Amino acid sequence: PYVGARIKRIEDPKFITGSARYVDDMVVPGTLYMAILRSTVPHARLLRIDYEDASRIPGVVGVITGLNIKVENRPRNFPMAKDEILYVGQPIAAVIAEDRYKAYDALDYIQVDYEPLPTVIDPEKALTDDVKAVEGENNLGYRKTYRAGNPEVEFSRSDVVIETKLEIGRVYPAAMEPRGLLAVYQEGRLTVYASTQAPHYMRKFLLNAFRDHVSDIRVIQADTGGAFGSKMFPYPEDYIVAYASIIYRRPVKWVATRREDLLSTYHSRAQIHRIKAGFTRRGEWRALIDELIIDLGAATHGYYLADITSTLISGPYKVRDILVEVYGVRTNKTPLDQYRGAGRPEAAFVYERIMDMAADELKMDPIEIRRRNLVTELPYTNPFGHKYDSGNYLHLLSIAEGYYRDFERRVEELRKQGRRVGVGLSFYIEQNNFGPWESASIRVKSDGKILVIIGAAPHGQGDATAIAQIVADELGIDMNQVEVSWGDTELIGEGFGTFGSRTLTLAGNAALLAVRKLKDRLRRVGAALMGINYEDVIYESGYVKDTKTGKSLSIRDIANALTASVGGTWSYGVEPSLEDSAYFGLSNYTYPYGSHIALVEVTEEGLVKVLDYVAIDDIGFVINPMLAEGQVIGGVVQGFGEVALEEVKYDNDGNPLTQTFSEYWIPSIMESFNAKWHYLEEGKSNAPLPTKGIAEGPLIGVLPALTRAVENAVGRRITKIPIDPSLLIK
Ligand code: MCN
Ligand code: MO
């Protein structure tokens, strides 16, 4: 069988030979290019835009200003600033020109008159409302209280109370390919090629805005060079490109430069937690009070991330008396939205920092304190209603302990040589398979080849390979007979996309259900072609067989027979279709869990080096361990960036200090390392193939594990990531 095997990705040949086609590679004759004039000031009253000179430049087709479309939780002026500028990078005008260079050159000829307004950058200061981030609005853009049990009473019964401020820095989801779109208007219809992770969703939001201008919008996902959660929700440029194509009746392309992408792709994380956690002498976590400040930037759509963090703030532990006060604040920064893990890494950073600090305070072993607090009976409904479904946390911890003790011994040895080394462990809970469902269609082509189309939209994860494995096994045929396709709103009815570590479980199981329908259909059609009863026919390994005579037809024979000749009359007695669709959803999210163990060295100059790293996960049934492991290796390195390198920074006046990769550091091959992956298959989901997701887990486990390892190496308490380098220099 293919399922369970480490099979190389069928998606990859075109990527490694350079024949992939990203949006920017797509050529449609007559395409115009769009360049965006972006605000260079963080907050101002926009008085006048003069684009006379720009529009007179040869090759410039037009200039768009003041486009405003009502989209929930976006700034009042969206997608373009009209009367008020809210952050550096906000679109103010768009130049449409015959080529990219003319479009960008023309930006210099646009005059913007504005009157600067006071700026608020620090989210804690924003809470006082002394300076407004948005005129006429309270800076407090979102407020929510999560209360369970009675934490105040539990504190009075606690022996040790930990109080601190924890911070998770603002990051940029640096996909290798920046955002971009090509919109092609054709007589009342629009086709949009996009770098996206959710084409159906993009169709929906663009159609909402432009249904008076076009009868339909087809969205086609081009080869997409990563997204990490950032290519899903509506962006200003999505609307501006579509609008430009509609009004100029020409194809229009826009692809962000890296600098634009860094400024304008929604940032993420940016949470501050003022926590107070109560423990008994024996290390039982009794209570938590958390004041969560999330820096939403200039729009409020990222508020839901704080909800995810808050409701998972108890992690895999039994503590039930919790108060979380959420403050979502507006500041004059790029708006906030999701990034790989979306709220769960933030939660894990908080509950695991708490565990480690409590262990230090109580002089307890980090494994022991976790053992005393882990949930032992599943299913378990956490204080805010999450239903942790399945698994065995203590068993996984015992495996983690083996690695941890080994790393501890190595730390001891290395320290004898005077090296600054440390070990860290995290235990985490993941919530994934955000739904509600996903779709899959399956077709047999006339030559017997199988085409599977999924409604999800992978962009680097390798799901097509795993789904081909599932389909080939279920049909009992060679994998090279199976193709998997996706990413076109007219290829498959409806679908959602690839996010929330859902694709393999939801689209993979939908594909399985579609195959099962197809097998039945093959029996029916095969029986009709053989002129025998359906009951006498079985399906086996690519053939339908007459159980009485042993006569058989292959999938290919059947497909051939149905399409044998052009002409003739209808004589099959059955519908000549070899096509089925299925939809699959789960009634509960799935809750994988895992543990990461890190061994790090901090050099004299303060560089963090990972010497060894193990991730252990229970995601139920694993379809392709190599793909899952690839997600872990990549995710852990990405998390290293968050812990040691990456932070979007602004000065106090709101000027972004990180505008290129020389200021915003993502991990390079120099910092990379190969995490080892160990997996259990105890925590199965309710799906026919009892899988759960893996793709975001590594980002959740890595933040606290690496932070602890560094803390252990330098002997200083760490409360903020990325870690302040001054704490690391010897
Ligand atoms: N897999 C498996 N067995 C399982 C679960 C998963 O073999 N039980 C395999 C799947 O076949 C797939 C991979 O593991 O190859 C991840 O599958 P899954 O956990 O279902 O996650 P998704 O495919 O839905 O990926 C989405 C996830 C998200 S939400 C972010 S953010 C992220 C991530 O993927 N963005 C990525 N990883 C990324 N990887 C790349 N290269 N690029 C991104 O933008
Ligand atoms: Mo995601």
Indicate the residue among 584, 603, 620 that finishes a domain.
Answer: 584
Q: What's the structural domain count of the chain?
A: 3
- Quick one: pLDDT at residue 466? 98
Positive or negative, the CA dihedral 429, 430, 431, 433 is negative
Any domain includes 18: no
Atom of ligand 1 nearest to the CA of 467: 11
Residue 616 domain-assigned (yes or no): yes
Please check whether residue 638 lies inside any domain of the structure. Answer: yes
State both tokens at 377.
Answer: 């009976």
Tokens of 403: 């690695």
599 shares a domain with 578: no
Spans in the chain with pLDDT lower than 50: none
Residues with CB under 5 Å of ion ligand 2 are 229, 499
Which helix (H) or strand (E) segment holds residue 240: the answer is: helix 236-248
Can you give the CATH number for the domain in which 512 is found? 3.30.365.10
Question: Which protein residues are within 6 Å of ligand 1, measured from CB?
Answer: 175, 226-229, 340, 458-463, 466, 498-505, 619-624, 627-628, 631, 691-696
Question: Which residue CA neighbors atom 33 of ligand 1 most closely?
Answer: 695
Assess whether 658 and 702 both reside in one domain: yes
Query: Both 100 and 221 in a single domain?
Result: yes
Pocket test for ligand 1, best of 221, 629, 631 (most atoms within 8 A of CB): 631
- Are 680 and 606 members of one domain? yes
Does 235 reside within a domain? yes
Question: What confidence score (pLDDT) does residue 200 get?
Answer: 98
Q: How far is CA 283 from CA 357, 370, 593, 709, in A?
A: 11, 9, 22, 21
Ligand 1 centroid–CA 161 distance in Å is 39
Q: Do both 697 and 620 map to the same domain? A: yes
Position 567 scores a pLDDT of 87
| Distance of CA 236 from the midpoint of ligand 2 (Å) | 20
Q: How many CB atoms lie within 10 A of CB 12?
A: 12
Which pLDDT value is given to residue 571?
80
pLDDT, tens only, 424-457: 999 999 999 998 999 999 999 999 999 999 999 9
Residue 720 CA, ligand 2 centroid: distance in Å: 23
Whether residue 382 is found in the same domain as residue 469: no
Q: Is residue 130 part of a domain?
A: no
Q: How far is the CA of 375 from the centre of ligand 1 (A)?
A: 27
Boundary (domain end) residue, out of 565, 584, 603: 584
Q: Are residues 402 and 467 in the same domain?
A: no
Distance 356 CA to ligand 2 centre (A): 28
For residues 694 and 614, membership in a common domain is answered with: yes
Q: Cβ of 725: how many Cβ atoms within 10 Å? A: 13
User: Do 538 and 639 fall into the same domain?
Assistant: no
Q: Whose CA is nearest to atom 10 of ligand 1?
A: 463
Q: How far is the CA of 438 from the centre of ligand 2 (A)?
A: 15
CATH number for the domain that contains residue 217? 3.90.1170.50
**Burial level of 115, CB count in 10 A (0-12/13-18/19+)?**
exposed
Atom 11, ligand 1: which residue's CA is nearest?
Answer: 463
Q: Please say whether the beta carbons of 323 and 273 come within 8 A.
A: no
Q: Is residue 410 exposed (0-12), middle (13-18) or buried (19+ Cβ within 10 Å)?
A: middle
Residues 600 and 692 in one domain: yes
Last residue of a domain, one of 197, 220, 255: 255
Query: Of all atoms in ligand 1, which is nearest to the CA of residue 226?
Result: 44
- The answer on 68 and 192 residing in a single domain is yes
Give the domain range for residue 40: 26-117+179-255
Query: Tens digits of per-residue pLDDT, 344-390?
Result: 999 999 999 999 999 999 999 999 999 999 999 999 999 999 999 99
Confidence at residue 569, expressed as pLDDT on a 0 to 100 scale: 85
Quick check: is 490 in a domain? yes
Q: Does residue 529 sit within a domain?
A: yes
CA torsion through residues 117, 121, 125, 128, sign: positive
Are 381 and 448 within one domain?
A: no
Closest CA to 308 of 334, 336, 276, 286: 336
DSSP-based three-state secondary structure for 549: coil
Q: Quick one: which atom of ligand 1 is closest to the CA of 499?
A: 29
Judge whether 58 lies within some domain. yes
Q: What is the pLDDT of residue 573?
A: 84
